[in-house]
Amino acid sequence: MNKAFLIGGILLISATINAQTKTITGFTTQGAAQQFLLEQNFDKNLSSSGIGNTIKELSSRPHNLGSAGSKWVAENIYNRYKSYGFDVRIDTYHVLFPTPKIRVLEMTSPSTYKALLKEPALKEDATSGQADQLPTYNAFSADGDVTAELVFVNYGLPEDYELLERMGIDVKGKIVIAKYGRSWRGIKPKVAQEHGALGCIIYSDPMDDGYFQGDVYPKGAFKNEYGVQRGSVMDMPVYPGDPLTPGVGATANAQRIASHNDATNLLKIPVLPISYHDAEPLLKALDGAVAPDGWRGVLPFTYHIGAGKTKVHLKLEFNWDIVPCYDVIATIKGSLYPDEWIIRGNHHDAWVNGADDPISGQAALLEEAKSIGELLKTGWRPKRTIVYCAWDGEEPALLGSTEFAEDHAKELQEKAVLYINSDANGRGFLGAGGSHALETFMTEVARDVNDPQTNVSVLERLRAQQIINASSAKAKQDAMQKTGIDLNALGSGSDFSSFLQHLGVPSLDIGYGGENNGGDYHSIYDSYDDYRRFKDPSFAYGVALSTTAGHAALRMANAEVLPFDFRNLYKIINGYTEELINLTNDMRDNTKTENDIIRNNYYSVATDTALHLSMPKPKGEVPYLDFSSLQNALLGLQIATDNLWNKWNTMAGAPTTADAFNRKLYQAEQQLLLTNGLPQRGWYRHAIYAPGLYTGYGVKTMPGIREAIEQRDWKQAQQQILLDAEVINNLSNYLKESAQ
């Protein structure tokens, strides 16, 4: 008996023990054993080279919404599903999608420069020289022809304008230039417009994703001087989807807003994204004050604010066309519960070739479907219906998923058990966000997926990352004690938004990343050549995504009692409420202190007189808000979720009777929908999760209350507390009833 044999023996034993002790919430011991076997078979059919080939094929030509390439991709996907044995159809919507007709940006004073507005082809990138690329632009910019002084506004956030005001600089009647980053791009022109700017230019500073971060493409992954981030600037935090058909599906005969000029989520000013090659002469020509600390990028000169001699001319005109939007919908009918749907989606449209965004996620999804197709051939069927979706038009405005969700709203609210989303995917760590009643579910899924680079599960790798990144010894020790996943709360930026925030369908958003950084995002260099070098060279994280999302879909499809645990939802809402109370108290302390400082002239005494800054003005004191309705609602929710969990365990002992209970479980989250939606944006109805009105993709939890507090609208904050308390009480009553 040698040492190697001994080690093998021990490993074998420990693996056996592991398999014996592992459970899956929602399955009996026997059910779990069958499910593990199913997953083993599912996993066997996943192939990294298959994923690589799909990425190469689907990113082989430009395929933005409305293009021939997009139609070709939709049909390619359609045919794949056919071959996998799915029922498949293409749902076509008709959506507004502006594309550029005229794009001019030139400096007219103090010297002249005409912007290239063009990313050059590279010999190292096979697809970079293709025809039919969408030029560099921001979709849903307004038409415009303006000439004005240029002002540098940092990242173009509300607080940047506050500092500009203190510096005595008004952007009214001027054109602003903002850096990409720190906020969703659509916020920049929106805030500029609110401050009276005539136009907005957005550029990628090399500090953020260019040479300051690493070698630039094609030597390395980061943005070269000509790279441009395209992207939408529709005000999606107001509503996403087709701007002409808010709240309803953009079918051929849908009633439409007469003109895009009447849509409340479209800008009135022109916006254009540019490279740092094009930004450099403009920024270098700016005079005026030196840009404050934290505003400067790394181009090799001193950044100034401008509003002086530097003038630019910006002229943009668009084709405001209505184009077809092809959603591919592929179904396998459930054997036991055909009217309970597990929906899995990823978009297929790209700004250009989109090997990373979205094809890396789409390819993983198709690999799942292919593998499920192999299972079908063995005679297997899921208990619940599985719906695999490839959305079109995500890039301009989450169009395909939003129109689908609006079009099928009622049916989805009845039938949709879970929506599982993915998007761009790459090497790194599991990222998972979604409905918090699914935290245990997601933890167990992550526990059972191996990380391709290390010898641990993706759950363990994520835990390790959270441990080493924790900010203090105490936080690290706490993180070591935690065994589960903290699901991120979801804002916007991908196709889960309509399901979760408009319909209250339980949702997950899953992907890998963190070791796939670069500057290709929404540029022509988001290509297969870039992807295979810098994003996921072995396509192993494609397989990890297929495994993760596939297991999630299959488990939810086959679960005996659906693995929703609302005790986690209670905990998270309770935590948010504490945050809001602390936020209000901190704002009260800070306001009092700042007002004391202002009234005692400490700012004027301590500020450099050479900066000629005006002093901050005192703000209204922060009142005490009455959080008691919310706190009492949470007391009720805690009891209701504990009792429901008791009932859940009872059902787990008699799973064959769980049908009606399961339906109650997956429809529960709809109780958190606000009757009239959020203030100023009724499309968003979820009381707990929404994108921020002034942050964009970034989530605001309990947004009605939180944004009212942040905007110092105390009356609205108080109203929103009552409304959130009401939906929480609704949920408690609903769960109480469900527990009987």
- Judged by the rule CB under 8 A, the positions of this chain that interact with a copy of itself are 206-207, 211-216, 220, 222, 290, 296, 298-302, 428-429, 451, 453-454, 456, 460-461, 463-465, 467-469, 473-474, 476-477, 480, 515, 586, 589-590, 592-593, 596-597, 600-606, 608-610
The length of the chain is 740
Q: Which is nearer to a copy of itself, 124 or 642 (CB)?
A: 124
Residue at token pair 């298959």: 50
Nearer to a copy of itself, 392 or 536 (CB): 536
Distance CA 517, CA 535 (A): 7
User: Least separation, in Å, of the C-beta of 400 and a copy of itself?
Assistant: 34
Question: How large is the angle between the packed helices 473-481 and 458-469, nearest 10 degrees?
Answer: 160
Q: Which amino acid is at 675?
A: T
Residue 711 C-beta: closest distance to a copy of itself, Å: 20
Measured from the CB of residue 596, what is the shortest distance to a copy of itself in angstroms? 7
453, two tokens: 């680079």
Closer residue to a copy of itself, CB minimum distance, 115 or 462: 462
Residue 281 contacts residue 150 (beta carbons within 8 Å): no
What would you report as the CA-atom Rg of the chain, rounded to the nearest whole angstrom?
26
- In the chain the first and final C-alpha atoms are separated, in Å, by 60
Q: Residue 222 CB, nearest distance to a copy of itself (Å)?
A: 8
Of 301 and 737, nearer to a copy of itself (C-beta) is 301
* H or E element, residue 95: strand 87-109
Q: Specify the residue, 241 or 452, whose C-beta has the smaller distance to a copy of itself.
A: 452
Q: Report the DSSP beta bridge partners of residue 321.
A: 97
The CB-of-455 to a copy of itself minimum distance in angstroms stands at: 8
| Least separation in angstroms between CB 35 and a copy of itself | 27
In which residue are the tokens 């959603």 written? 327
Of 262 and 478, CB closest to a copy of itself: 478
What dihedral do alpha carbons 510, 516, 519, 523 form, nearest 10°? Answer: -50
Nearer to a copy of itself, 68 or 290 (CB): 290
What DSSP string runs through 333-394?
--SSEEEEEEEEEEE---SSS-IIIIIIHHHHHHHHHHHHHHHHHTT---SEEEEEEEES-H
Instruction: Kindly state the smallest distance separating residue 448's Cβ from a copy of itself, in Å.
Output: 17
Nearer to a copy of itself, 600 or 646 (CB): 600
d(CA 244, CA 21): 54
The beta strand positions in 154-261, using DSSP E, are: 175-179, 199-203, 231-232
State the nearest-atom distance from the C-beta of 210 to a copy of itself, in Å. 9
Residue 403 token pair: 């129109």
At 633, the amino acid letter reads A
The β-bridge partners of 323 are 95
Which is closer to a copy of itself, CB of 112 or CB of 302? 302
| Helix (H) or strand (E) segment spanning residue 32 | helix 29-44
Q: How far is the CB of 542 from a copy of itself (least distance, A)?
A: 17
